[in-house]
Amino acid sequence: MRAEYRLPVKSELKITIYEPASVYIDNSQVDWESSENSNYLQSVIIKIPNLQIKHCDDGLIMTVYPELYEQAFKIALYVANRILIQTSVDAIDPEMVLHGSPQVFPETPEEEKEFKNSLVKVSKGFSYSWSIMGKFQPSCYSAGVEHFAAFALFADALRAASPFQKFKQFYEVVEYFFPPEKEQTESISEHGSKYDKRFTLKKVIELRDIRQRCTHPHRKNHLHPGELILIREVKEKLIEMQGLAELLLNYPP
């Protein structure tokens, strides 16, 4: 079975296709679809072959399952990164492969028979984003001005798009108040847990370990934005990391 993902180029962009030939990544074919009457890139099409046909409990052919998610996201992210590095344009959103089913096609006569005898399960996903605006209360701005650098680090983390960059910059706020020259996890926990019981010594050590795994490429179990499972691991801890940094801004030691 072959799965095909079509990732549209962001509507405002015009990228000329100078080399229309397909490329092959991880044994998968990547095609460049141009728009009508132009040579502008309209979509990136990822074709993943040689997939084993899997069935749901109700007998339908599955088009969404974890291994396929991982493979498709890895290829889509790699292509998106290479386009960005080469053209300085962030052209496609690799996370679109997570929001719905690919088209699937049989590749052998046996699979053609199986497709004729089974329906294909289609999953329609969606993505959303939201923001919660806090109250504008500038009377507190004069307090904490001596920690101008810490507020700048926290604001930069909020502006960052990557969860990895966010995590590392929020941790820099912690290091601002507790310099890393010596082991400070006990001091951080002792101070933080007075205001939020989540920040036990174990939790602070966990957050520090994630930050180090994000920072050092050769560290064991290095965390990087090239694999979906690692992105999820960082995102799961990001709220706590932000919470600790914000706590220190509000209640500096």
The domain limits of the chain are 2-117, 138-250
State how far the Cα of 189 lies from the Cα of 197, in Å rounded to an integer.
9
State how far the Cα of 46 lies from the Cα of 72, in Å rounded to an integer.
8
pLDDT tens-digit series, residues 94-115: 989 888 889 999 999 999 988 8
Q: Can you read off the two tokens belonging to residue 217?
A: 């490429």
State how far the Cα of 238 lies from the Cα of 245, in Å rounded to an integer.
11
Residue 133 carries which DSSP code? P
Q: Which pLDDT score is estimated for 197?
A: 94
Q: Which pLDDT score is estimated for 80?
A: 92
Q: Using CB atoms within 10 Å of the CB of residue 56, give its burial: 0 to 12 exposed, 13 to 18 middle, 19+ buried.
A: middle
Query: How many C-beta neighbours within 10 Å does residue 101 have?
Result: 18
Q: Which pLDDT score is estimated for 223?
A: 92
State how far the Cα of 82 lies from the Cα of 84, in Å rounded to an integer.
5
Q: Which long-range contacts (CB under 8 A, 24 or more apart) does 153-158 make?
A: 154/245, 154/246, 154/249, 157/242, 157/245
Convert 19-33 to b/e letters by CB count within 10 Å (16 or more is b).
eeeeeeeeebbbebe
- β partners of residue 2: 105
Q: Which residues contact 1 (CB under 8 A, 6 or more apart)?
A: 50, 51, 52, 53, 61, 104, 105, 106, 107, 111
State how far the Cα of 66 lies from the Cα of 175, in Å rounded to an integer.
37
Q: Each residue's pLDDT tens digit in the chain (253 positions)?
A: 999 999 999 888 888 998 889 999 989 999 999 888 888 999 999 999 999 988 888 888 888 888 898 899 999 999 998 899 888 888 999 989 888 889 999 999 999 988 888 777 665 554 544 455 566 566 776 677 789 899 999 999 998 989 999 999 999 999 999 987 767 899 999 999 999 999 999 999 999 999 999 998 888 889 999 888 999 999 999 999 999 999 999 999 9
**Is the Cβ–Cβ distance between 46 and 23 less than 8 Å?**
no
Q: Which pLDDT score is estimated for 238?
A: 95
**Is the Cβ–Cβ distance between 103 and 4 less than 8 Å?**
yes
Q: Which pLDDT score is estimated for 98?
A: 86
